[in-house]
C-alpha cells in the first residue's frame, strides 16, 4: 500500500480569500433577509429568531456577523444611503441644466425607493439607533436635501427652472419621493422605473420653464410589459448593494 506524504493531503480549510468571500456572502444574506422581515413585520415585531429561522440557521450564528439587531438596522440604512450618495455623485458629475440634473436625481432616487434598502431610509425610526448613528443619519438627510436644493438653484440660475423657493420646492419633491417607499409594492401595474419616470416629470412640471405636459400625459408603461427591464434593475441594485455593504461594514468596525 502506497503511503502518502503529508504534503499530498489537501487542507480541509478554505483559502483565506475564499473564506472571506463566503463570510461576506453570508453577511449579505443576513442583511437581505433582515431588511425584508423588518419591512414586512415592522422593526419591533421582527426578531432575530425570525431572521435566523428564515435563513435556516441558529440565532447564535447571527452574532458571528452582527453584534445586535440595531446594528443590522443601521447597516441596512447605510447601504441605502450610500446608494443615494452614488446617485448624487453620478448626477453631479454629469452634464445638463439644473432641471436636467434635478430630474435625473428624482428618477434615480424614486427608483431606489422601490427597493428594500431604499425603503429602509424612510420606513424605520432613527430613534431605534444609538446616538452616534442617529447623528450620521441626520447628517445624511441634510446632504440629500442639499443636493435637491442645489439643482433647483442651479436651474433658476441657468433659466431651466422658474424663480422659486428652493427649500420649499426641495421639501415638496423629496417628501413625495420618500412616500413611494411606504406604498410601492413590486408586481403592480407599474414597474419601479415607470413610477420613477412619471414622478420626475410631474414633480418638476410646476417649476420648469419649458413644459413637458405632453410627455407627462403619456400612458405609463405597464409592469408586465417591462419584466426584462425590471429584472435588470433589481440585479443592478443588488450588485450595488453588495459593494456598498462592504464599505458600510468597514465603517462599523
Which residues sit opposite 208 in a β-bridge? Answer: 161
| Domain contains 140 | yes
Taking the C-alpha atoms of residue 39 and residue 145, their distance in angstroms, rounded to an integer, is 24
| Domain contains 172 | yes
| Domain contains 165 | yes
Taking the C-alpha atoms of residue 119 and residue 221, their distance in angstroms, rounded to an integer, is 22
Which residues sit opposite 161 in a β-bridge? Answer: 208
Taking the C-alpha atoms of residue 125 and residue 151, their distance in angstroms, rounded to an integer, is 28
pTM confidence score: 0.76
* Domain ranges, residue 186: 81-252
User: Are 249 and 75 contacting, i.e. CB atoms less than 8 angstroms apart?
Assistant: yes
User: Are 102 and 151 contacting, i.e. CB atoms less than 8 angstroms apart?
Assistant: yes
Among 99, 100, 84, 79, residue whose Cα is nearest residue 34: 79
Query: What pLDDT does residue 187 have?
Result: 84
- CATH at residue 147: 1.10.357.10
Question: pLDDT tens for residues 125-160?
Answer: 999 999 999 999 999 999 999 999 999 999 999 999
Check residues 140 and 8 and name the one with the higher pLDDT. Answer: 140
| Domain contains 40 | no
Q: In angstroms, what CA-CA distances link 181 with 86, 113, 116?
A: 18, 5, 8
| Domain contains 8 | no
Query: What pLDDT does residue 16 have?
Result: 56
| Domain contains 37 | no
User: Are 160 and 98 contacting, i.e. CB atoms less than 8 angstroms apart?
Assistant: yes
Cβ neighbours around 140 below 10 Å, total: 18
Query: What pLDDT does residue 22 have?
Result: 75
Has residue 41 got a pLDDT over 50?
Answer: yes
| Domain contains 9 | no
How many helices (H) and strands (E) in the chain? 11, 0
Taking the C-alpha atoms of residue 197 and residue 29, their distance in angstroms, rounded to an integer, is 30
- Report the number of distinct structural domains present in the chain: 1
Largest CA distance in the chain: 90
Taking the C-alpha atoms of residue 168 and residue 117, their distance in angstroms, rounded to an integer, is 26
Cβ neighbours around 175 below 10 Å, total: 11
Has residue 184 got a pLDDT over 70?
Answer: yes
| Domain contains 162 | yes
Terminal CA-CA length for the chain: 52
Check residues 248 and 171 and name the one with the higher pLDDT. Answer: 171
Question: pLDDT tens for residues 89-120?
Answer: 999 999 999 999 999 999 999 999 999 999 99
Amino acid at each position: 500500500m502506497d503511503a502518502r506524504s503529508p504534503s499530498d493531503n489537501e487542507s480541509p480549510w478554505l483559502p483565506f480569500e475564499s473564506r472571506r468571500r463566503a463570510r461576506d456572502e453570508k453577511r449579505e444574506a443576513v442583511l437581505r433577509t433582515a431588511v425584508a422581515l423588518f419591512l414586512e413585520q415592522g422593526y419591533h415585531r421582527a426578531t432575530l429568531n425570525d431572521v435566523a429561522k428564515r435563513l435556516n440557521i441558529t440565532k447564535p450564528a447571527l452574532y458571528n456577523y452582527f453584534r445586535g439587531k440595531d446594528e443590522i438596522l443601521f447597516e441596512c440604512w447605510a447601504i441605502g444611503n450610500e446608494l443615494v450618495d452614488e446617485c448624487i455623485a453620478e448626477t453631479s458629475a454629469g452634464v445638463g441644466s439644473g432641471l436636467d440634473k434635478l430630474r435625473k436625481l428624482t428618477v434615480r432616487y424614486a427608483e431606489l425607493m422601490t427597493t428594500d434598502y431604499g425603503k429602509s431610509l424612510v420606513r424605520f425610526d432613527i430613534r431605534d439607533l444609538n446616538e452616534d448613528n442617529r447623528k450620521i443619519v441626520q447628517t445624511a438627510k441634510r446632504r440629500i436635501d442639499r443636493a435637491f436644493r442645489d439643482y433647483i438653484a442651479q436651474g433658476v440660475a441657468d433659466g431651466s427652472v422658474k424663480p422659486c423657493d428652493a427649500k420649499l420646492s426641495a421639501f415638496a419633491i423629496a417628501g413625495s419621493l420618500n412616500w413611494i417607499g411606504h406604498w410601492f409594492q413590486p408586481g403592480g401595474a407599474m414597474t419601479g422605473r415607470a413610477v420613477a419616470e412619471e414622478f420626475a416629470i410631474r414633480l418638476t412640471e410646476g417649476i420648469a420653464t419649458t413644459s413637458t405636459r405632453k410627455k407627462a400625459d403619456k400612458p405609463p408603461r405597464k409592469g408586465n410589459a417591462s419584466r426584462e427591464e425590471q429584472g435588470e434593475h433589481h440585479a443592478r441594485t443588488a450588485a450595488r448593494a453588495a459593494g456598498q455593504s462592504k464599505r458600510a461594514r468597514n465603517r462599523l468596525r
